[in-house]
Homo-oligomer: A and B are copies of this chain.
């Protein structure tokens, strides 16, 4: 427990709750996209119409029609075969990480992770006291030479990564890089944990094959309805081959018996009445415009010394200041001008990253993005002078 970092994000978000502040610090979906009317009806109907079942305990694995929906969607969208029996419903995809920690990580187990890596995974895994092995991310994905060197020394038990529109960097691994990484992992016998929170939120181009599908049983993949329906329902899932699934189910049962049955049935009902393929374009359309606006502001306002990613999906841009700069210092200065950013340091498991920051675009209007980015650029210029 003592090794688990307190959430820095959480502390920062408290500072930025003031609605007058233009916050790029958080990671919230845009609530204007929530289908409140349709979800309210679905909620009413599953409780009024099938309340004796909906309100009762259910199985640890989750509501069967929802597991079938997820398996079907993998087949239709990505062409991969996952049986509904290989899907476990969780409390958002954060819980997948806790269950994976329970099943795979002993104190001192080597766990490879992208550098920078997703903070939620660092927190969840830290409880189980792994030895993190950071693998530097570049434009195409994780550096294969670094992963290979780490595997040669002592193969990590797990490699955790976010191949689509990574949090925090916004980077999507290229198709070639996926194959290269899969080959290294197969050779090393390392289990891949593929966090696919943003796969449905792809703005440009066709989806790339999940690493999961290249590894045939040597990986698990997590997903979530948080970004495509609503996070307050806390429904995610993990896809895993049978032998791993059995252990995940045992861990899930010991952790909380099963996920919210009501929320599972609300989502299943909602999806039956509101095809996801009609919903996704609305979300992608809005986020793409917000990404465009933020990226245009970077181009137009930011000093050249600041480099920025241009993500092809997801919710975040990632910026690097010149090496000697501190994004904590920038955070403090920007806050005085009514803009919040997220310093990137907590996304590094080995120190470093003090000059990096994350910018969220999904939860501000285009006008506020423009205004906030303009102010931020003034602060940046002043700071870099």
Q: Report A's interface with B, CB cutoff 8 A.
A: 1, 4, 6-7, 10, 28-29, 31-32, 34, 36-37, 39-41, 43-45, 47-48, 51-58, 60, 90-92, 94-95, 98, 102-103, 120, 123-124, 126-127, 226, 230-234, 247, 250-251, 253-263, 266
Contacts and interface: CB of A to CB of B under 8 A. Distances in A.
Q: Is the contact region of chain A dominated by helix, strand, or loop, or is it mixed?
A: helix
Given A251-B1, A260-B233, A55 B28 contact: no
B263 A98 contact: no
Nearest to A226: B57
B55 A230 contact: yes
A124 B92 contact: no
Nearest to A37: B48
B4 A256 contact: no
Contacts of A55: 31, 34, 36, 39, 230-233
Copies of the protein in its oligomer: 2
Nearest to A265: B232
A220 to B, nearest CB: 15
Which 7 residue pairs of A and B lie closest in terms of their CB atoms, listed nearest first? A36-B51, A55-B230, A232-B261, A40-B48, A40-B47, A43-B43, A44-B44
Contacts of A263: 260, 262-263
A254 B127 contact: yes
Given A10-B60, A34-B51, A232-B55, A254 B43 contact: no
Contacts of A7: 250, 253
A127 B99 CA distance: 11
B4 A232 contact: no
B262 A231 contact: no
B253 A10 contact: yes
Contact of A232 (B37, B48, B56): B56
A256 B91 contact: yes
A244 to B, nearest CB: 11
A56 B44 contact: no
Given A28-B57, A123-B253, 13 more contacts: A1-B103, A4-B254, A31-B53, A34-B56, A36-B55, A39-B51, A39-B55, A56-B232, A58-B232, A98-B255, A233-B262, A234-B258, A260-B263
